[in-house]
Structure 1
Amino acid sequence: MTVHLQPGSTVMFTGDSITDCQHLEIEQPLGWGYPLRVAGEWGFRHPDRPVTWLNTGIAGNKVMDLETRWQRDVLDAHPDVVSVLVGINDVGWHTYAEDGYVIPVDDYTAGYDRLLTPLAEAGTQLVLIEPFLLPLSDDQRKQREDLDPKIQAVRELARKFGAHLLAADGLFAELAATTGPEYWAADGVHPTAAGHAALAAAWLRLVD
């Protein structure tokens, strides 16, 4: 099963800071990360199949934040393909060690389900990117206890909705086995240039 991009298709990337990449702050509407790399590589390979690429990622967003803006920022654009990466902020990685802040996996799953339902009903092709973490410390290793069930939830949602799954957590774990995690995500969360290149290459492997 592959993503089908026809000439004139509209593809939207959305999620948190990993997708955002300052697209609202710099003179590049796709930001500087993997969405830009996907669009650039696609355009290089397929000048005869032009695609409109959009980015509505916002740094710090959780699933519930996406819900509040989903109609305006996603549904109203009527995209043919929607690619979602959200979840690391639902683990509460900023404050986990201080106050135990965690969004329950059931709430995360239910909110994510509500995001996908209207898109599936409209026949939109879906790409779900697993949230990921390359632990650099004992605190981050502990955070995996909460993240791992949410990764599993994304896998189950992909099956439920017939979405294309980009298994990013496994991808980065395999890559980090030979280089160390910092090469791909200097803080364990946000990809380096190489990490964004890896995400883009994996995304494009899903495409027909």
Structure 2
Amino acid sequence: MRIKNDDTLLFIGDSITDAGRDRADSASLGAGYVHEIAQTLRDRAAEGPGPRVINRGISGNRVYDLESRWTTDVIDHRPTVVTVKIGINDTWRHYDSGLRSPVDAFATCLDGLLADTARRLSARLVVITPFLVPVGPDQERWFEDLAPRTDAVLRAAADNGAQVVRADQVMAHAVRDRQPAELARDGVHPTPLGHRLIADAWLAVADPATAQAPA
């Protein structure tokens, strides 16, 4: 399936999606993977500006924050492709603030958002898995919480017919040949290289023909 020039692509999630966007400017895409995807699609559009791209990432969000703004930030825009990237803050806040996000509750919330979108929109759903590139020994233990949360994301995607971008696998593969900080300086927030890898992985799933086309 291809992304068409008349599509509206909406991305929602946490700081990895936000990537410093100007929230006072509805057209701002930030400096991360959303911008990289939009630029690639625009560069390769046969004619016109390419698809409309909307970024509704907000730094610090957990899945429950997405739930509280889902209608206004997703449904009301009537997108044709909805991409969700969430989960790392649900893990991170557990370790740095003691703020729990039980995996079962997380899964129920995410599943509900995807199911609600499928009911209300005729949109393709894409889910990007959370990831972690540990830059120190303290972060290694985060996988105790993150691994089952990633499994929950995969189940929610499968139950709702969503395509999956395995950012966790992409980053794990990339770190074999690089220092972790080259991909995410704090283990969580991608560098420009990390964002480009996520963008390429999204394109390979959502629009394989574009991903394989010569630059």
Please classify the TM superposition score into its range, dividing by the shorter chain length.
over 0.9
Matches within 5 A, 1:149-164: 149-164=148-163
1:120 Cα deviation (Å)?
1.3
Give the TM-score, by structure 1 length: 0.92
Q: The residue matched to 1:179 in structure 2 has which SS?
A: coil
Matches of 2:96 and 2:76, distance apart in 1: 38
Closer, same or farther in 2 for the Cα pair 1:46/1:201, shift >3 Å?
same
Moved more, 49-58 or 77-86: 49-58
Matches of 2:158 and 2:10, distance apart in 1: 20
Aligned to 2:64: 64
Matches of 1:189 and 1:26, distance apart in 2: 25
Aligned to 1:85: 85
Q: Would you say the 8 A contact 1:97–1:139 is kept in 2?
A: no
Match of 1:9 among 7, 10, 13: 7
Matches of 1:95 and 1:15, distance apart in 2: 18
Do residues 115 (structure 1) and 113 (structure 2) align? yes
Q: The residue matched to 1:54 in structure 2 has which SS?
A: strand
Q: Would you say the 8 A contact 2:9–2:81 is kept in 1?
A: yes
Aligned to 1:176: 175
For residues 109-129 of structure 1, give each alpha carbon's deviation from its aligned partner in whole angstroms, at most 9, with x where no partner exists.
Answer: 011011111211222101100
- The one-letter amino acid of 2:51's match is V
- The one-letter amino acid of 2:136's match is S
1:43 Cα deviation (Å)?
0.7
Structure 2: 5+ residue runs without aligned partners?
209-215
- The one-letter amino acid of 2:9's match is V
Q: Would you say the 8 A contact 2:5–2:45 is kept in 1?
A: no
Aligned to 2:211: none
Matches of 2:87 and 2:157, distance apart in 1: 14
For residues 24-58 of structure 1, give each alpha carbon's deviation from its aligned partner in whole angstroms, at most 9, with x where no partner exists.
Answer: 25876101111011000111112336200000000
Moved beyond 6 Å, runs of 4+: none
Q: Percent identity?
A: 39
Matches of 2:23 and 2:53, distance apart in 1: 17
Matches within 5 A, 1:6-155: 6-24=4-22, 29-48=28-47, 50-91=50-91, 93-94=92-93, 96-97=95-96, 99=98, 101-121=99-119, 122-155=121-154
Structure 1: 5+ residue runs without aligned partners?
none
Q: Would you say the 8 A contact 1:18–1:190 is kept in 2?
A: yes
Matches of 2:24 and 2:122, distance apart in 1: 33
1:180 Cα deviation (Å)?
2.1
Matches of 1:177 and 1:40, distance apart in 2: 28
Q: The residue matched to 2:176 in structure 1 has which SS?
A: helix
1:7 Cα deviation (Å)?
2.5
